[in-house]
Chains A and B, each alone.
Chain A
C-alpha cells in the first residue's frame, strides 16, 4: 500500500494550549479517513497544518515523500492537497459556475491569462462536469449569496476537487445540513470524489456518518491521537467513548 501522507511527531502549541502533541500517522492512497474528537481536540489544527495555513512547532509532514511542513497553502495546493471548510469559503458575489471557474483556472498550474476568457470552452466544460457530479447544474448561474447552506457546502467541496487532488480534506462536510439531508449530502460527496480516487480525510462529529462512510477513524483528544483503526473498533474503544463520543459504557 502506498503512503500518500506521512506525518511524524507533529507539535503545535498556542500559549498553554496544546493543539497537537506528537501526532504521527500514515495515510494510504484511496483511504477514507474520519477525524473525530470534541471541540478543541486538535482536528482542525491538524488540517490547518497539513494544508500549510499553520506551521508546526515541531515535526514533519510529507506528501508523497516531499516535505510540505513549511510551505504556504498555495504551494501545498499545487502539490496535491485540497480542502473544504467548516464554513464554506466562497466568493459570494460570483455565481456557482464562476466560483468553480476560479478553481479550474487555478488548477491549470499555469499563470492566469489576462486575455483568454474565463468562460473559454474547455474550462466551461470542466466547470459543468464538476457541477454535474454534485447535482448542481441547475444552479450554475445563481450567485452564491442566493444559495442555501447545504448547496454552498457542495460548491465548496467541488472547488476543492477541481485540482484533482491526491489528498482531499473536508472540514465537517455535513455540519449545517439537516438530519434528513446529511446522508444524501455525504452520498453525493463520496460519489463525486470517487472518479478521482483521492485519499479522503473528513472531520466529523456525527458518528452515524463516521461509521457509514469511513474505513479508518482517528480519534483526537487534547492534541493527541487517542485511537486509530477501523470505525467499529475505534467507536467501541472505552477511552474514545469516554473522551470523544461521550457515550456511557
Chain B
C-alpha cells in the first residue's frame, strides 16, 4: 500500500517556487498563468465533487456569487486588497454551497448535474434582469492592491495577481491532497462506487457529498474573485452555462485521480486556446474539440492517469498470479 507521496511541506515549497517563477515569465504569460491558476482552482472543486460520482454543470453559480459578492463589497466599502477579496469570494461561494449542498446531495447522476445547471441558469437570468447589478452589461471594479501596496506598473500588478492566485490555488491543491488521503477522501470514492453500501457501513453518503459540494463551491467563489480582479469587470456571463462547461472541460482533461493533473490540464487548455486563437483564429474551437477528443480517446481517465496508472501497473503481475492461484 505504501507508495511515495510528497510531504505537504515539500508541496508548500513547490508552491512558493511556482509563485517566484513568475518573475522569470514574460509579461504576456503572467495573465495567462493567472487565468490558468484561477480556472484550476474551480476545476479542482469539480474534481473533488466528482470523486463522489457527481459532476456539477453549474459551478458558474458559485463563481458568479463569489465575483458579484466581492464586486459589491469592494464598490461599497472601497476594499481593494487581493487577499481579502479572495477570502470574501470564497466565503460567498461557500455559504451558498452550504445552503444548496444539503438539498442537492439527495440526487445523483444526471439529475444532480441538471439541477446544478438549472440553478446556475436561474441565477444568470436574475442577474441579467437586475438593473441594480448592471443587467447584462455588469459593472466595473477598481484595481486590486496587496497589503496596502498599490501597483501602478502593469507588469507588477500582473505579477502580484499571478502570485496571489498561484499561492491560493497551490494551497487549495495541498488541502485537496490532504483531503484525498483522508477518511473523508476514501469515503468519497466509496460513495462514488456504491452509496448504499456506504450507508450500510453507518456512514451518511449525503453528508460526504455535501461536504465535497461546499468545498467545491468555496473554491469556485475564490476563483470568481480572481476572475473579477483580473478583468476588473463582472457581468452575468460568469454564471452562464458555457462558463461552467469550460471548468468541466478542465476537470475532464485532468481526471479525478490527481491534484497536480488539474493544474497541468488548466495550463494545457489555456495554452492550446491561446495558440490556436493566435494561429487559427476562425477554427480555434475546433482545435480545442480535437484536443479534448484526443485526451478522452487516449487517456479516458484524464491526464492524471499518465502517472497514477504506474501504480496499478506495478501491482498487475502480482494480481495475475493471484488469479491463477484461485483458478487452480
Q: Which residues of B contact A109 (CB under 8 A)?
A: 202
With both chains docked as a complex, state the minimum distance between the C-beta of A54 and any C-beta of chain B, in angstroms.
13
Interface residues of B (CB under 8 A from A): 1, 178-179, 181-187, 189-190, 193-194, 196-204, 207-208, 211, 312, 315, 318-319, 322-323, 326-327
Q: Which residues of A contact B327 (CB under 8 A)?
A: 148
Interface residue tally for chain A (C-beta within 8 Å)? 49
A91 and B193 contact, CB distance less than 8 A: yes
Instruction: Supply 28 A–B pairs (Cβ within 8 Å), ascending by A.
Output: A72-B199, A74-B200, A74-B204, A77-B201, A78-B202, A82-B200, A90-B194, A90-B197, A91-B193, A91-B197, A92-B193, A93-B193, A102-B198, A102-B201, A109-B202, A112-B184, A112-B208, A114-B179, A115-B182, A117-B181, A118-B185, A119-B181, A142-B318, A143-B319, A148-B327, A150-B326, A159-B201, A162-B201
Q: Which of A63-79 contact B (CB under 8 A)?
A: 72-74, 77-78
B179 and A102 contact, CB distance less than 8 A: no
Assuming the A-B contacts A73-B200, A109-B202, are A94 and B181 also in contact, with contact meaning beta carbons closer than 8 angstroms in the complex? no
Bound CA–CA A90/B189 (angstroms): 12
Q: Which residues of A contact B326 (CB under 8 A)?
A: 147-148, 150-151
Q: Which residues of B contact A141 (CB under 8 A)?
A: 1, 315
Q: Does A106 count as interface, using CB distance less than 8 angstroms?
A: yes
Q: Which of A34-85 contact B (CB under 8 A)?
A: 51, 72-74, 77-78, 82-83
Assuming the A-B contacts A91-B194, A141-B315, A148-B326, are A112 and B187 also in contact, with contact meaning beta carbons closer than 8 angstroms in the complex? yes
B181 and A140 contact, CB distance less than 8 A: no
A91 and B189 contact, CB distance less than 8 A: yes
A94 and B200 contact, CB distance less than 8 A: no
Assuming the A-B contacts A112-B187, A116-B183, A118-B181, are A95 and B203 also in contact, with contact meaning beta carbons closer than 8 angstroms in the complex? no
Assuming the A-B contacts A98-B186, A102-B186, A105-B183, are A146 and B202 also in contact, with contact meaning beta carbons closer than 8 angstroms in the complex? no
With both chains docked as a complex, state the minimum distance between the C-beta of B131 and any C-beta of chain A, in angstroms.
42
A102 and B208 contact, CB distance less than 8 A: no
A112 and B181 contact, CB distance less than 8 A: no
Bound CA–CA A107/B202 (angstroms): 7
Contact of B319 among A117, A146, A163 (CB under 8 A): A146
Q: Which residues of A contact B315 (CB under 8 A)?
A: 141-143
Interface 1/0s, chain A 132-144, versus B by CB < 8 A?
0000001111110
A114 and B182 contact, CB distance less than 8 A: yes
Which residue on chain B has the smallest CB distance to residue A85?
B197
Assuming the A-B contacts A142-B315, A147-B322, are A83 and B203 also in contact, with contact meaning beta carbons closer than 8 angstroms in the complex? no
A148 and B323 contact, CB distance less than 8 A: yes
Q: Does A101 count as interface, using CB distance less than 8 angstroms?
A: yes
With both chains docked as a complex, state the minimum distance between the C-beta of B219 and any C-beta of chain A, in angstroms.
14
Q: Does A200 count as interface, using CB distance less than 8 angstroms?
A: no
Bound CA–CA A25/B114 (angstroms): 47
